[in-house]
Chains A and B, each alone.
Chain A
Amino acid sequence: MSAPNLRAALAADPALGAGNVLLRLAEHGADPDGPGITFDVAVDGHPAWAPLTLGALSERVAARAAWLHAYGIRPRDPVALYVTSSADCLLNFMAMTWLGAIPALMNGNMPASIAAEYIRRLRGVGVLTDAAHRELLDGTDLGVPILADVTQAGTGDPASAPAHYRHHDDDPVAITHSSGTTRMPAAVVHSHASLFAATRRVHLASPRVSGEERTLSVLPAAHAAGIISTQQALCNRHELLFLSAQGGRFEQSGTTVLDAIERWRPTGVFGFAVTWAELARFDLTQRDLSSVALWFNTGDCAHEAHVRRLVAAGSHLTYTRDGVTRVPGSKFIDGIGSTEMGHSAFRAVHRMTSDRYGRCVGKPYAFADVALLDLETGREVPDGQVGHVGLKSPTLAPGYWNDSVNTYRNRLRGYYLTGDLMYRDAEGYYYHVDRAIDSVDLGGGNWLYTAMSEERILTRCPDVRDCTVVAGPADGRMVTDVLLLLAAGADPDADRSGAIAEALGEAAAATLRRIVAVPDEDIVVGPTGKVRKFLMRQRHLAATAAS
């Protein structure tokens, strides 16, 4: 079957979901010699950076399914997976779903003490780790055994793998976790249908690309976005290179990503906001990014200052009256989303020629029913007024694992409350102002929206690479501190107070206590690179009070 027809057949296949992509690809006749996944690490002796065909990928997954089955893993068994490499994560995810088990994917950056408690709360049957994480967990009470070293799973005999589990739409296929920016990461369960809903409705419904598509994923493999980006590449029959651990330590990941782009020549680069912030350290005109036509962001909304630099790089094919021609510049798709949302619900497209920023997240996808709600009344707020984002979507995770309290706490009138604050303009575009938990009531109807303030600071201060606004009560009043991460060569003593006061607006500027350039290590980030603002607020305000 040709790839285009295969896409339509997959989109129309009611049995296909996130639990059985390899099975259904094979049953639809996808070419086993076609693209599988390329990893940046060796897989069972197969060298790093050498593509695994679809057939070879399926065989490596079957080996793990056979080993796990022989070990005693059965349908509905939750198994924690705490590893660093994208190969270990994705191959074992697919192997466990082969068995109908429930892989609980953990970000390898999760600190061991938190990981141990997270594993205990899962109440699963065991943990699969790599050597580094096994050492981290050594001597810790996990409530379940560590099954084995993850490399052992690859030694199974693919021929002895049991028949693939046949999933129902509602079957759980993965537990992933939120970034844990405010608390213990929340374990979120995804179903066979929910985790595949966007691939079916968006990624298999969009027009096929002209020419070869090569996706470089810098997303964290253990998260919903990691799984979705893998499955959309496989179903679209695109080449996929999946870097491990988002390119490694964040402050060095920019180099890793740029090197990977020059080496592998992707047409699309998928990442979280931290990746674009890290690329802002570099003069992109000095690197060969000409292969890149698309940057795809999900998780947090990306910053204008970072996006503008990216869309000026790369190149893309376009049709003109002179025929098909390659022109400079690329496209940036910004898709705010979260683990619980199961996929981004909004889509904003930026190009060199576009100028709609100010934390505009675009418009909702057709599959998403979005309402901006007043939590007091449960009613929608009018255009222009900030409300809490409520979402109904087939992508929504069914709930939190072992946590009905929070599953129901975040629902209102049939909507899932995403925890975001947005307003909508008269043209139907949505603008993200802040996470609800980070916004600060200044009294008199005035609010400090930290994310929107950071956006405005970055656009007004080009020598600021990234920034964080923290606010809270101190000395009997509300105070706001602005922490700046400066670009290389920027003057740390430059007076930016005027621009920053303007960015904050009158009411918030009145609470401004200090503006300080800080080293990277002062910014507390979670395992996916998200700033842990809640924790920072507590620490920073405590530290400044003490001093």
Chain B
Amino acid sequence: MADSIQQFIFDSLQEMNYDVEGISENTELGPRGADLASLGLAELAIRVEDEYGVKFDEDEAEELADMTVGEFCAVVAQRLSTAKTAAE
């Protein structure tokens, strides 16, 4: 699951016109890495919500800047799993 989320993030960044060359799971989304702007993080959050149904509010989206791609994937996977458990 984590692999497919990661691939979705890479694809999304590419579609959002970010240069994904050199970006790995250890790359931070914020200024020390991919350097997504605040609205870029908000767009990524909405893309993830549309794909996986996992919601990030406006302020949470800004906090994604501190996360690596891998950490962000883990959060998405964890919220997905929590949502599934709750539904069962």
A residues near B (Cβ < 8 Å) are: 4-5, 7-8, 11-12, 204-210, 317-321, 324, 349, 351, 366
- Point out the residues of chain A lying under 8 angstroms from B66, CB to CB: 205, 366
- Which of B5-13, B30-38, B72-80 faces chain A? B30-38
Sample (14) of A-B pairs whose CB atoms are under 8 Å apart: A8-B31, A8-B35, A11-B32, A204-B31, A205-B30, A205-B32, A206-B30, A207-B31, A207-B62, A208-B37, A318-B42, A320-B46, A321-B50, A351-B58
Q: Which among B31, B36, B58, B62 has the greatest number of chain A C-beta atoms within 10 A? A: B31
Please report the C-alpha to C-alpha distance between residue A5 and residue B43 in the assembled complex, in whole angstroms.
21
* Inter-chain contact A207/B46, CB cutoff 8 Å: no
- Point out the residues of chain B lying under 8 angstroms from A11, CB to CB: 31-32
Question: For the side of the interface on B, what is the size category?
Answer: 20 to 34
* Inter-chain contact B62/A206, CB cutoff 8 Å: yes
Please report the C-alpha to C-alpha distance between residue A205 and residue B40 in the assembled complex, in whole angstroms.
15
Interface of B is mostly: helix
* Inter-chain contact B32/A210, CB cutoff 8 Å: no
What is the distance, in angstroms, from B29's C-beta to the closest C-beta of chain A?
8
- Point out the residues of chain B lying under 8 angstroms from A7, CB to CB: 31
- Point out the residues of chain A lying under 8 angstroms from B58, CB to CB: 318, 351
Q: Report B22-62 residues with CB < 8 Å from chain A CB.
A: 29-32, 35-43, 46, 50, 58-59, 62
Please report the C-alpha to C-alpha distance between residue A80 and residue B86 in the assembled complex, in whole angstroms.
63
- Point out the residues of chain B lying under 8 angstroms from A12, CB to CB: 32
- Point out the residues of chain B lying under 8 angstroms from A208, CB to CB: 31, 35, 37-38
* Inter-chain contact B32/A319, CB cutoff 8 Å: no
Please report the C-alpha to C-alpha distance between residue A207 and residue B37 in the assembled complex, in whole angstroms.
5
Q: A318-B58, A319-B43, A319-B46 are in contact. Are A207 and B32 (CB under 8 A)?
A: no
B residues near A (Cβ < 8 Å) are: 29-32, 35-43, 46, 50, 58-59, 62, 65-66
- Point out the residues of chain B lying under 8 angstroms from A206, CB to CB: 30-31, 38, 62, 65
Q: A207-B38, A207-B41, A317-B39 are in contact. Are A8 and B65 (CB under 8 A)?
A: no
Q: A8-B35, A318-B58 are in contact. Are A207 and B43 (CB under 8 A)?
A: no
- Point out the residues of chain A lying under 8 angstroms from B42, CB to CB: 318-319
Which chain A residue has the least Cβ–Cβ distance from B41?
Answer: A207
* Inter-chain contact B36/A207, CB cutoff 8 Å: yes
The 9 closest A-B pairs by CB, nearest first: A319-B42, A210-B39, A207-B65, A210-B37, A207-B38, A319-B43, A4-B35, A319-B39, A7-B31
Q: Which among B58, B62, B65 has the greatest number of chain A C-beta atoms within 10 A? A: B58
Please report the C-alpha to C-alpha distance between residue A205 and residue B65 in the assembled complex, in whole angstroms.
8
- Point out the residues of chain A lying under 8 angstroms from B37, CB to CB: 207-210
Task: Please name 17 further chain A to chain B contacts, defined as beta carbons within 8 Å, in addition to the given A4-B35, A209-B38, A210-B40, sorted by A numbering.
Answer: A4-B31, A8-B31, A11-B31, A206-B31, A207-B29, A207-B36, A207-B37, A207-B40, A207-B65, A210-B37, A210-B38, A318-B58, A319-B39, A319-B42, A321-B50, A351-B58, A366-B66
